[in-house]
Structure 1
Amino acid sequence: MSTSEPIYKELTSETENPDVLQIESLCMKCNGKGTTKLLLTKIPHYKEIIITSFECFDCGDKNNGIQSSSFHEFGVKYELNVMSTEDLSRQIVKSDEATISIPELDFEIPSNRQRGEINTIEGIVRNAIDGLSQDQETRKVLDVDLYEKIQHFIEKLEELLKVKCPFTLILNDPSGNSYIENLKAPSIDPQISVSKYRRSSEQNESLGICEDKILHKILWRNKPYQEEVLQFNTICDQCSKPSKTKMKVTEIPHFKEVVIMASECDSCGHKTNEVKSGSGIEAKGKKHTLRIEAIEDIARDVLKSETCSVTVPEFELYVGSGLFVGKFTTVEGLLVDIRDDMLKNPFLLGDTTTPDKRQKMEELIAKINEVIDGKLHVDLVLDDPAGNSFVQDIYTPEKDPCLKVEEYERTFEQNEDLGLNDMKTENYAQNDDT
């Protein structure tokens, strides 16, 4: 097997001399000569990214940016209620495709107007102030009325930084590659509302994503294909070398049909697997509550879809939908994935983490390890509005004393996140020309 190095490498505290590419560049501010540095790396939750840093030798201008190498399956929308100066220090990852708006000021930074970046809420507002302040001296001479209007708006932005009154910051990213820091992690932050949504055809087109129905037709309209393993060529997300993905439609006992996809790269040996529902969205949402009391409960099979959230009430631990792709694993495997993701998350245990937050995270990880080792009994809650998640009932056909399954009617907001409110199903068969 080849031992070729991956193109995108993870950065940790043990990383020495990361591979940085330097390119001589033109300064857009003074037309002087500068240098752009490129670092290809991986950040948990955002897959591979390219971090750019520019510095001009003539005027001293500096800037940095971030570009993602792939898109998530769902778009994401964050609504943050900024209530104190502490909120201004929240870290924010903004991709090129993201839109930032402040409804109270009727202010919006459109997508692709600013480069993707890692910043803080305060930094985003100050960048907006700096951008509006440019050429103000010229406007003061040529167009006094425009100068005064812009100056008045700049003063409003500066007032936001004092946070005398709460305001709302909305981050909407159809690529799904943006993020606002949760100061209450791993619990739910009451000041942040996060929703995921299916992109419209226009948004997919703007991202350069082709909506292909061929795979759907092969799997669900041609029954012979459901009896065999399909294989197609892909690109490895670790080393970007050609690899292969295998796909199989199978049925989970007492549940439903699912699509299992597995990839393996011959170049670097990286392996991934993902599970998706094969029967669409259920009529009702479904909530599984498992009381983990014995080693047998840790070994139960679990299917967690991409729309399912995971909660451990005893720890105030909340893992939102979309953090992991669809997984068919065990309770132990799911807890291990959550623990490992926390260990790699720079916003929870990175260099910028406060000592109090680091201690809280370390204590939480220790408790998760106790659950995995069978030393601690807790409730594990899987809440899936799409109804496509599953926890194995090991007492069938008898009643399972440790597992509670509830069906519920979805809220309007949940239907909105699943793209159901605007979905047209009337006369679908007559209009389907495929």
Structure 2
Amino acid sequence: MKDISSVETLVIPADVTVAIKARKVTVTGPRGTLQKNVGHVQMDIQIVKTAKDNKIVFTIWHGGRKHVACLRTIKSAVENMITGVTRGFLYKMKLVYAHFPINAIPSDNGESLQIRNFLGEKIVRECPMLEGTKVSLSEIKDELILQGNDIEKVSQSAASITDKCRVKNKDIRKFLDGVYISERTNVVQEESKDVAIVVLPTCSCIITTKTYGNMSSNPELFPSLGDVADRTDASNGVEGEELTDMQTVESLCMRCHDQGTTRLLLTTIPYFKEIIVSSFYCEHCGFRDTEIQSAGEIQPKGCTFTVHMLSREDLGRQLVKSNWATVTIPEFQLTIPPGRGQLTTVEGLIRDTVRDLAIEQPVRRIVDPETAAKIDALLKPLRDILDIDESDEDGAAGRDGDTEVMVEQDRDTGRPFVPFSIQVDDPSGNSYLAFKESPADPQWNLRAYNRTNEQNVKLGLVAEGAETTEAEKLESAAAATDAMHRARAVKPEDGSTVPEEVFSFPSTCMSCGHEQETLMKPINIPYFKDVIIMSTNCYACGYRDVEVKSGGKISEKGKRITLKVEAGDEDALSRDMLKSDTCGLEIPEIDLALQPGTLGGRFTTLEGILNEIYDELSTKVFRTGDSATAGVGQIGREDPEARGFADFLQGLKDVMAVKRDFTLILDDPVANSYLQNLNAPEPDPDMEIDEYERTKEQNDDLGISDMVLEGYNEEAEGAPTALEAKTE
């Protein structure tokens, strides 16, 4: 049965122009022009203009079932064209890998994409984008962004990238590596009706704001401090101009118990993450307080920052302390437990500590003299560090007045500065203590670690009292056994005598605390030595980790490997590299220096290790210097150290893209590191290997000086060992 006519209508927005000629539809909007020829479908397409709006009318006369089905298809295609020229289309793609990090590099101004190191292969996969489609790297790790006006070309470009990284000749249920579409959205987001509620316990208030699509990536929701300062200066003196970046509410003052004002600002710290800054001021007593809360996610690992403070200039180092962080100063036996988050400096943190401890001292000296005496003994060295007197313990915190004048008055006694160390331990990984100029700062150290089960419980990542059930134990053991059998089936291709057996032993997952199996297998690296690869895979939470350990004896000498790379030599990035946990890494041209132990043991490529270094620094580091400096982010008033670190990151990007000459230095005192020789067994003209005698300090740090290497038989027979004889 055929209908006389089938009709569909589509409203044309006010900022869009549509032209139709011989079933060729042309749509023009703010973002450009799109054309589509639908002449292969017999239908009438007309533009009907009314006083209210303009419409496109699609009509099919005497159409059959399949013919009428095309009506809705053509309408959807034109509707997508209107959406494309007004809001655009944006596809997000995720780089998924297990062991070999996939490296995606946009080229030709975003019109092409190079994919490297897929499944460890040295093949460079070229993925050209279709006309009008651009590809770029997201601020989020391992994420690509494709955008354009034509949905067909954007989606086809994304499908081409996925097809280029398709796993072949393997079980795709186990090998999930690839590039997959994770989100489909628009370039210009529409205002949604969702509501975000921000709760600040210390202020006893609730703020409700509208959200716009993806909160973490929206620059309007999380403007930078510099943008807020510029808009504030521009709005001063303009009638009717209100600053909408900050939310203002009334809240209770904790000092005089009267009503004060709390201002909330959602902002982004460069090279760090999104935060919520809360500033409280009471006009009745003059009390001020500032607090921050993280607006981002909990990091995969915890972090510990250690800085040796050698002078009063070091007190200006900026400090981000989350509400999970513990601050310790061992020299004074001072520990600041987890509490409210702070964006301050080391000096500001010590001033707040002195103020909080001293505020109740007059009463405490009468009620509990013993405790008051202990607190006075602690406050004295802290005041000496700040160079202030007992009457000035508040400094500029919590009082209304001229901060700069009070600080100058405090620092006129000339007390000598006593060096000390400060340590910030944050299991959530959301704290930071700044370095000077570059990560090569000898006073600064960063260590990442896996959280314990107790820490995961405190962070709310694991339910309290959760234990592994018998079914989970059996499932985990079965999966580990299956993985072990598959690993045993892999045999060396060169016919060497490497043992095929894979050793397995039970362990505990560092992420969720469940029981798991750790697999260990010795392998031989050609022209190097035997190493042991330890692989951990938790089947409860999906946590994976791979470590490389030396399988041979300790070398008598240390080894220094120097590789000179010229600009444009992309083959150098594909060199296999074994970095042990005792190896340090340097690139002098960009002042990059990694201390031994940083990033742990890694068996990857030169390109892979550079990507790991960049990801670690770009997500952990932000501006340095005194956080009280006015005009942060404004043109002409920026911190030179912040600009210096931005130049450092740009230099690291140039090294990753081989746009400049650079020198890579691997210094391993136990000679357990390796860099592939592309001309093996012949010498490599670009690489030098030097052996050197270890110093006594290096032997002490490695524990070699305390090893007993002889006299074991005598010890078994009751005779004194060589170490005991030496002691006597």
Which of the five TM-score ranges fits, normalised by the shorter chain? 0.5 to 0.7
| Structure 1 position 42, deviation (Å) | 3.7
Partner of 2:460: 208
- Judged with a 3 Å threshold, the aligned counterparts in structure 2 of structure 1 residues 412 and 24 are, in CA distance, closer, same or farther, namely farther
Moved more, 209-218 or 80-89: 209-218
Opposite residue 172 of structure 1, the aligned amino acid is D
- CA–CA separation in structure 2 for the residues paired with 1:6 and 1:175: 22
Moved more, 282-291 or 70-79: 282-291
- Which of 664, 683, 705 is equivalent to 1:380? 664
Partner of 2:441: 189
Tell me if 1:103 matches 2:330.
yes
| Structure 1 position 129, deviation (Å) | 0.8
Opposite residue 344 of structure 2, the aligned amino acid is N
| Structure 1 position 371, deviation (Å) | 4.9
Moved more, 10-19 or 279-288: 279-288
| Structure 1 position 123, deviation (Å) | 0.8
Q: Secondary structure at the match of 1:165?
A: coil
Partner of 2:706: none
Q: Secondary structure at the match of 1:6?
A: coil
Asked if the contact 1:302–1:331 (Cα under 8 Å) also holds between the matched residues in 2, the reply is no
| Structure 1 position 148, deviation (Å) | 4.2
- Judged with a 3 Å threshold, the aligned counterparts in structure 2 of structure 1 residues 312 and 128 are, in CA distance, closer, same or farther, namely same
Correspondence list, 1:220-239, <5 A: none
Opposite residue 296 of structure 1, the aligned amino acid is D
- CA–CA separation in structure 1 for the residues paired with 2:478 and 2:677: 32
State the TM-score, normalized to the length of structure 2: 0.41
| Structure 1 position 201, deviation (Å) | 2.1
- CA–CA separation in structure 1 for the residues paired with 2:576 and 2:266: 33
Asked if the contact 2:534–2:547 (Cα under 8 Å) also holds between the matched residues in 1, the reply is no
Partner of 2:569: 296
| Structure 1 position 221, deviation (Å) | 5.2
- Which of 211, 216, 219 is equivalent to 1:8? 216
- Judged with a 3 Å threshold, the aligned counterparts in structure 2 of structure 1 residues 340 and 110 are, in CA distance, closer, same or farther, namely closer
Q: Secondary structure at the match of 2:255?
A: coil
- Which of 418, 426, 430 is equivalent to 1:165? 418
- CA–CA separation in structure 1 for the residues paired with 2:459 and 2:341: 14
Across the two proteins, how many residue pairs are aligned to each other?
371
Tell me if 1:43 matches 2:269.
yes
Correspondence list, 1:68-87, <5 A: 68=294, 69-87=296-314
- CA–CA separation in structure 2 for the residues paired with 1:6 and 1:329: 34
Partner of 1:311: 586
- CA–CA separation in structure 2 for the residues paired with 1:207 and 1:118: 21
- Judged with a 3 Å threshold, the aligned counterparts in structure 2 of structure 1 residues 120 and 281 are, in CA distance, closer, same or farther, namely same
- CA–CA separation in structure 1 for the residues paired with 2:615 and 2:271: 12
| Structure 1 position 338, deviation (Å) | 7.2
Higher normalized contact order (CA 8 Å, seq sep 6+, divided by chain length): 1
Deviations 1:323-376 (A, max 9, x none): xxx99994798499579949x933389649876535645665675576567563
| Structure 1 position 188, deviation (Å) | 1.7
- CA–CA separation in structure 1 for the residues paired with 2:616 and 2:305: 24
Q: Secondary structure at the match of 2:362?
A: helix
- CA–CA separation in structure 1 for the residues paired with 2:699 and 2:258: 56
Partner of 1:282: 549
Opposite residue 92 of structure 1, the aligned amino acid is L
Asked if the contact 1:71–1:176 (Cα under 8 Å) also holds between the matched residues in 2, the reply is yes
Identity of aligned residues (%): 28
State the TM-score, normalized to the length of structure 1: 0.64
| Structure 1 position 399, deviation (Å) | 6.3
Structure 1, unmatched stretches of 5+, are: 227-252, 260-275, 416-434
| Structure 1 position 126, deviation (Å) | 0.8
- CA–CA separation in structure 2 for the residues paired with 1:340 and 1:78: 13
Q: Secondary structure at the match of 1:295?
A: coil
Aligned-residue Cα RMSD (Å) equals 5.3
Correspondence list, 1:16-415, <5 A: 19-43=245-269, 46-68=272-294, 69-112=296-339, 115-162=340-387, 163-183=416-436, 185-210=437-462, 279-283=546-550, 290-297=563-570, 300-301=573-574, 311-318=586-593, 321=598, 330=607, 334=611, 337=614, 341=618, 345-347=622-624, 351=633, 357=641, 360-361=644-645, 364=648, 371=655, 376-380=660-664, 401-402=685-686
Q: Secondary structure at the match of 1:160?
A: helix
Q: Secondary structure at the match of 2:549?
A: coil
- CA–CA separation in structure 2 for the residues paired with 1:20 and 1:303: 51
Asked if the contact 2:328–2:424 (Cα under 8 Å) also holds between the matched residues in 1, the reply is yes
Q: Secondary structure at the match of 1:300?
A: helix
- CA–CA separation in structure 2 for the residues paired with 1:205 and 1:412: 37
Opposite residue 164 of structure 1, the aligned amino acid is F
Asked if the contact 2:312–2:385 (Cα under 8 Å) also holds between the matched residues in 1, the reply is no
Deviations 1:196-244 (A, max 9, x none): 22222222222222299979779755559x9xxxxxxxxxxxxxxxxxx
| Structure 1 position 109, deviation (Å) | 1.1
Asked if the contact 1:30–1:59 (Cα under 8 Å) also holds between the matched residues in 2, the reply is yes
- Judged with a 3 Å threshold, the aligned counterparts in structure 2 of structure 1 residues 18 and 168 are, in CA distance, closer, same or farther, namely farther
Opposite residue 292 of structure 2, the aligned amino acid is I
- CA–CA separation in structure 2 for the residues paired with 1:137 and 1:198: 44
Q: Secondary structure at the match of 1:108?
A: strand
- CA–CA separation in structure 1 for the residues paired with 2:664 and 2:569: 14
Bigger Cα Rg: 2
| Structure 1 position 139, deviation (Å) | 2.7
